[in-house]
Amino acid sequence: DTGVSQNPRHKITKRGQNVTFRCDPISEHNRLYWYRQTLGQGPEFLTYFQNEAQLEKSRLLSDRFSAERPKGSFSTLEIQRTEQGDSAMYLCASSRDSRRQYNEQFFGPGTRLTVL
């Protein structure tokens, strides 16, 4: 079990640029979640996938945000036309299928985005 990995760990970009983050979940975890965390706050849910299907999106996820999970393995989160308000830590988590009684989330180290 190698844990959840995220790349890059840090990203600095200029306003208006597009950025893409990657998350590799724990192998055999069906569910994958994206969260955003700003300074002094708890993580806020953005979206989640069960296998390759994106089953729920938060209203926080504007049209500039898109997430994919091709083949139900790794996931990408893209932000187009970044704004300074997008600066945050983006966290990815994975868990087993929730139909099982035991459904613990495990988090990656996060990608810290700074928009100048």
Partner 1 sequence: GIQVEQSPPDLILQEGANSTLRCNFSDSVNNLQWFHQNPWGQLINLFYIPSGTKQNGRLSATTVATERYSLLYISSSQTTDSGVYFCAARRYNFNKFYFGSGTKLNVKP
| Nearest to partner 1 of 22, 80 (CB atom) | 22
Query: Minimum distance between the CB of residue 90 and partner 1, rounded to whole angstroms?
Result: 10
Angle at 101 between CA 97 and CA 102, to 5 degrees: 75
DSSP 23-60: EEPPTT--EEEEEEE-TTS--EEEEEEETTEEEEE-TT
| Nearest to partner 1 of 43, 79 (CB atom) | 43
Query: Minimum distance between the CB of residue 18 and partner 1, rounded to whole angstroms?
Result: 23
| Nearest to partner 1 of 80, 87 (CB atom) | 87
Region of residue 110 (phi > 0: left; psi between -120 and 50: alpha; otherwise: beta): left
Q: Which residues bind partner 1 (CB under 8 A)?
A: 33, 35, 37, 40-45, 48, 55-56, 58, 89, 91, 93, 98, 102-107, 109-110, 112
| Nearest to partner 1 of 54, 66 (CB atom) | 54
